[in-house]
Amino acid sequence: MIFDYSLWGLFLASFLAATVVPFSSEVVLTAVLANGTDIYSAVIVASLGNWVGGMSSFALGYLGKWEWIEKYLRVKRETIEKWHDRLYKRGAFFAFLTWLPGVGDIFAIGLGVLRSNIWIVAVTMLAGKFVRYVVWAWLSGLVF
């Protein structure tokens, strides 16, 4: 079989890990690599799955409004404006950091709410997620 089913599972795990679902795709990547799957295929599939998940969080934010954050999450207007300025000025930087556990989802949703440039967000988000999985795969190779 040309395409290993474990890569489908890795894609799904990576996708879920990039959404608001608390899930560790690194564990799945390590298991897939320990099972003998090609490292290049695994890193690409994990990166793409995590990127699609991150972009879905961006899209979710794009559908939202700042007023909802203030109303439903009870965040002060001043705090919202402060984060608005930070995210707007450094959108590419925050998109690159969407791989971070916990805050990455918030960054992706926030960039969507801001209506940040989708192309800049998409490219820098993919780059950040790719670097993350390359480093993780390399570290996994040192252990196994």
pTM of the model: 0.85
pLDDT at position 118: 95
- Token output for 23: 């899930």
> What is the distance between the alpha carbons of residues 135 and 144, in angstroms, rounded to a whole number?
14
Number of domains in the chain: 1
pLDDT at position 1: 43
List the pLDDT tens digit at each of the 144 positions of the chain: 445 688 999 999 999 999 878 888 999 999 999 988 999 999 999 999 999 999 999 999 999 887 887 787 788 888 888 877 877 788 899 999 999 988 898 899 889 988 899 999 999 999 999 999 999 999 987 665
DSSP string, 43-92: HHHHHHHHHHHHHHHHHHHHH--HHHHHHHS---HHHHHHHHHHHHHTHH
The pair phi, psi for residue 135, each rounded to 5°, is: -65, -45
Residues 6+ apart with CB under 8 A from 98: 18, 54, 57, 104, 105, 107, 108, 125, 128, 129
pLDDT at position 106: 87
First vs last Cα of the chain: how many Å apart? 25
Its domain, for residue 21, covers 5-143
pLDDT at position 4: 62
